[in-house]
Structures are given as C-alpha cells and as structure tokens.
Amino acid sequence: MEAHAGGRDLIFLDESGFAPTMRTGYIWSRVGQRAVVPKAAIQNRRVNVLGAKIVGSEPDLVWQRTSGKIDAGMLLEFVCLRPAGLGGGAAVLDLAADGLGIDVIPVWERRRPCTIVLDNASAHAATAFKGRRQQLAKIGVELFYLPPYSPELNDIELVWRQAKYQDYPHRTQTSTDAIGKAVDQAMNHQRDRIRQSATNRIRAA
C-alpha cells in the first residue's frame, strides 16, 4: 500500500540463468516407454542475470548480466548502484551510511525509501551482503527475506518466465556475447511492458 501511494518503492530481486538450451519442464512419452531427453552442454554458453523489478510511483526493471557466478560482492554492488542509486556503489557505502556517526543522519539517503524482497539464496544470505543490512537501512534500503521455498511470492519470477519463453524464443546463439545481446533484448521488452502498464494505469485513473 505504501509503495502504491508513492511513499516507498517495493523492489523484487532475484537471479536467473539463460542458455541456448533451457531445461525441459515436461515431456510426453508412450505408455510403458521411458522418455529420454538429450542433455546439451552449456559450458561457456550461459549468461546469469541479476534483476530487480521496481514497484511504486515509478515502476521499472533494472538488471545486470554476467557470464560468471553471481556472488555476494556482486550483489551488494548491484544493489548499491541500481536499486539504491548510490553513486560510487558499495565502495562508498561505509561513508554514506556511517560518515557522521552511527546514531545520526547518514551522509546520503535514497530519495524515496525502498524495501527489497529477496529469497534466501547463498549470495543473499552471505555475510558479505546480509552483514551490510544495517548500513543499507540507514541509506533507505530495507531488506525483506521471504520464507523458504516460496518463489511464488517474488513478483520478478513472472518476469523471468516471460523473458525466457516469450521474448527469448530463438536459442541458436553460439557464444555468451550473442546470448547476452538476446537477453538484453528480452529484458528490454519486459521493461517496456512494465513502464507501459504503469502509464496505462495512470491514464485510466
């Protein structure tokens, strides 16, 4: 309610992987016959994406992709730079949050406070990220952890599903660079839909 009223942004954060060959969700086979699905090698042909869906007075979608692993350090840097909007990123978090003393107004605060909704993945729960929770709160970024095994409560899951199966249908890429470009195109489509939906709601109101 506070997010829709414009007093706070609600941000759904998660990671997902994209590859030319995606996992098979289900398959049909003849009665009594075992279905066999060939496994395609995805080594050096996978892009991981860290994304944040912003709900509030200015709905948006931001993301960062990498061909490597998303760890707690990368997550903290992403949160500081993108959802938080802290120029300088994680490197200046100490100064921004604690520069004037631990019990006084921080040097820098987000223009509008936000709550980041995320699950308990290893990078999310690592000390390098979760251990900065108090500092993030001082600059206007609250972390809210979902209960275990509840991905349906994270709105960005729908973004991943639509990006993979609607906007990223041609899986013929042979390099991580080509996959990355296709991923950016799919995510741009998702961002355009989110922004247009918000515009339509404003016009209808």
Residue-wise pLDDT for 168-198, tens only, equals 877 777 788 989 999 999 999 999 999 998 7
Residue 124, domain member (yes or no): yes
**pLDDT the model gives residue 173:** 79
Residue 23, domain member (yes or no): no
What is the span of the domain harbouring residue 199? 9-18+43-204
**pLDDT the model gives residue 193:** 93
* Distance from the first to the final alpha carbon of the chain: 16
Q: Catalogue the E-assigned strands of the chain.
A: 9-18, 47-55, 60-66, 114-118, 141-145
**pTM confidence score:** 0.84
- Per-residue pLDDT, averaged over 141-145, amounts to 98
Residue 100, domain member (yes or no): yes
Residue 35, domain member (yes or no): no
Residue 29, domain member (yes or no): no
The total number of structural domains that make up the chain = 1
CATH code for the domain of 85? 3.30.420.10
**pLDDT the model gives residue 172:** 74
Dump pLDDT digits (tens) for 49-85: 999 999 988 899 999 999 999 999 999 999 999 999 9
- In whole angstroms, give the CA distance from residue 7 to residue 199: 19
Residue 166, domain member (yes or no): yes
Nearest to 65 by CA among 187, 199, 191, 196: 187
**pLDDT the model gives residue 22:** 60
